[in-house]
Amino acid sequence: MSEDKPTNRQVSQTSGRRSTRVAVDIPVVIFGQSPEGKVFREQTKTIRVNAHGGLVNLATDVDPRMPVIVVNSKTENQIHCRVAYRAKNGKNQIELGFEFTTPSPKFWGINFPPEDWKPEERKQHTRILSPTAPPLAEKQKKR
């Protein structure tokens, strides 16, 4: 279990982070793989988010070497992420910090993001996976 430090990236002067964290409950679905290789899907809520990723609690352990897909349940947008942090918490859950492969401040749908969420990045559209990606493809088949 590791926490990576930003390198060659803009870092907030006050917190050492690239963008301000916001404490907000946003419903999400996490698709990932356990350390045993089992693929899982789990509904949860965010604890904190920023322009570069977020933090959630999961009942399922995650293989930190494998990517995860995060689906914003409100917008149905999905994004590829890497595991940035993974630790057991006192509630017999896994605290999972994930980082977007590309900064995507619009992914969360926050109307008034902190000022260090760069204006030029706010105007970018969230990179959404192709319609053939498993989470949405499965959902479309059920309709």
Give, rounded to a whole angstrom, the gap between the first and last alpha carbons of the chain.
39
Residue in the block written with tokens 């430090």: 5
Tally of domains within the chain: 1
Arithmetic mean of pLDDT, 51-55? 94
**Domain CATH number, residue 121:** 2.40.10
Q: How far apart are CA 130 and CA 143, in angstroms?
A: 18
Q: What is the 8-class DSSP label of residue 3? A: -
Domain assignment present for 1: no
Domain that holds residue 56: 22-142
- Give the model's pLDDT for residue 131: 43
11 within some domain: no
* pTM of this structure: 0.70
| Model pLDDT for residues 59-117, shown as the tens digit of each residue | 999 999 999 999 999 999 999 999 999 999 888 999 999 999 988 889 999 875 667 66
Q: How far apart are CA 39 and CA 10, in angstroms?
A: 34
Listing DSSP states for 57-111 in one string gives: EESS---TTS-EEEEETTT--EEEEEEEEEEE-TTS-EEEEEEESS--GGGG--S
Position 17 pLDDT exceeds 90:
no
